[in-house]
Amino acid sequence: MSRPPDCDTVIDSWPVPGHVPRELIRDVDIYRMPGASTDVHAAWAHVAATEPPVFYTPRHGGYWVLNRAELIAEAFGDHERFASSGAISIPPLPEQVPPQLPIMADPPEHRYFRLPLNLAVSPKRLAALSEMARALAIELIEGFRPFGRCEFVQDFAMHLPMTIFLYLVDLPLKDRAWLISQVEVMPRAEDEAARIQAYNNIIGYLEGWLEKRAAEPGEDLISRILQVKIGDRPITRQEALSEAALSLFGGLDTVASTMGLVARFLAENPDYRKQLIDEPGLIPNAVEELLRRWAIPSVARRVTQNLEFGGVKMKRGDLLILTTSLHGLDPHFWENAREVDFRRPLANLMTFGRGVHKCPGALLARAELRIFLEEWLRRIPDFSIDPQDPPVTAGGNVIGMLRLPLAWPIR
């Protein structure tokens, strides 16, 4: 690998910029965390407890890792020094891939792209969406409950948020399985070509529907996106495609993986299950605590100016990663960070981000998790992991629960 002009260090063929102190270099690869296939959060918890507040990894082009909750929160809320435009993942998307909107837009354009998403999942619409989610959750659970087993991710977790998305964009439910298969590749495949191909497959699918909605607009999210004006100009077709695609990615994979991680925890910890069954009033705060403990997204930001942050000098153009699981597992910020406490006072969670880029679907995601806990524990209170078929998790830009076989007594 050729050495850039300001590089004075090479680690395992990876160049390191000259302004990065050698003592802050760590070989941390978000796609290959040690132990990630069985418990990726344990791998991040080790990083949170043992590494310095800020360090640099040369993997995937090189980036800074913020390893303290306060620094992560500060960077999330500061789009002027740490911009989303030009970077959202590690490694960054190639230039030929259109930016994902609105998350890769910064103010002032950001608010125009954000508007249709805010309207689609507004508090006003939350009641109707929650009612739909509850009805589907009951239908899915009752469908496999008599068999005494299920593969939680594919049989339940993926279906709930995808069905809500298809409702919001008014697309056929029959397309659910194929869309799920494509979305699973996007945040975790280390192979860049595979990620790009999955993205292009979804773009191609959505492009046909955008053509139809441009000709015959309705009240759905795609129609609303097409009608947005960015300042005094209409949204471009490419921008609309990117925004529709990100709505799919953001609404499906994060919720499904979080549900899977929560289900695994409850399957392995019957005392916590019993606590929620005996005191259902704890469920809303339990959702917050579980979101803290099993936060899953990591998002990239690009440094916009030469600066010092967390005691480290960074240069304009540097990438850094904001890993929400490092925030939730920071032992310097949370007392007994790896322990779950459904009565824990919670504030300043970073699971959904902060500032202008805070996830617009946060209220809906919380509702879906709450409904899952209420309806699952009511119908399947006693369940465990199939000992012959262990769970599979994965790292990457979005931590994932890939497989979770569950079993329970048939009554």
Per-residue pLDDT of the chain (411 residues; tens, 9 = 90+): 233 334 445 455 678 899 999 999 999 999 888 888 889 999 999 999 999 999 999 998 999 999 999 999 999 999 999 998 877 888 887 766 677 788 888 888 999 999 999 988 888 889 999 999 999 999 999 999 999 999 999 899 988 888 888 888 888 888 888 887 777 776 555 577 777 788 788 888 889 999 999 999 999 999 999 999 999 999 999 899 888 888 877 666 788 889 999 999 999 999 999 999 999 999 999 999 999 999 999 999 999 999 999 999 999 999 999 999 999 999 999 999 999 999 998 878 899 998 888 888 899 999 999 999 999 999 999 999 998 899 988 888 888 888 999 999 997
Q: In sequence order, what are the residues at sequence separation of 6 or more whose Cβ sits closer than 8 angstroms to the Cβ of residue 27?
A: 11, 12, 57, 58, 59
Calculate ∠ Cα 207-213-219, nearest 5°: 130
- Tell me which amino acid residue 72 is: I
> In angstroms, how far is the first alpha carbon of the chain from the final one?
62
CB 393 within 8 A of CB 282: no
The CB density around residue 217, as the number of other CB atoms within 10 Å, is 13
Give the closest residue to 256 by CA, choosing from 69, 95, 406, 399: 399
**In whole angstroms, what is the distance from residue 313 CA to residue 56 CA?**
11
**In whole angstroms, what is the distance from residue 365 CA to residue 383 CA?**
24
CB 289 within 8 A of CB 269: no
Residue showing tokens 């695994």:
264
Q: Which two tokens stand for residue 393?
A: 């998790």
Domain residue ranges of the chain, discontinuous segments joined by +: 20-403
The CB density around residue 366, as the number of other CB atoms within 10 Å, is 19
Q: What is the DSSP letter of 297?
A: B
Residue showing tokens 């012959």:
388
Q: What is the DSSP letter of 24?
A: G
Looking at residue 5, its pLDDT comes to: 36
Sheet order of strands, 405-407 included: 149-151, 405-407, 384-385
Looking at residue 8, its pLDDT comes to: 45
> Assign residue 370 a region: left if phi > 0, alpha if psi is -120 to 50, beta otherwise?
alpha
- Give 20-403's CATH code, choosing from 1.10.1740.10, 3.40.50.10310, 2.170.150.20, 1.10.630.10: 1.10.630.10
Q: Which two tokens stand for residue 340?
A: 């779950």
CB 153 within 8 A of CB 219: no
Looking at residue 4, its pLDDT comes to: 36
Looking at residue 121, its pLDDT comes to: 87
CB 394 within 8 A of CB 30: no
**In whole angstroms, what is the distance from residue 75 CA to residue 85 CA?**
14
What digits encode the pLDDT tens for the residues 271-298? 999 999 999 999 999 999 999 999 999 9
CB 402 within 8 A of CB 392: yes
Q: For 296, what's the count of Cα atoms within 13 Å in the CB-facing half-sphere?
A: 27
**In whole angstroms, what is the distance from residue 206 CA to residue 257 CA?**
23
Beta strand 392-394 with 400-403 is antiparallel
Give the closest residue to 169 by CA, choosing from 118, 227, 225, 101: 225
**In whole angstroms, what is the distance from residue 237 CA to residue 34 CA?**
42
pTM (2 d.p.): 0.90
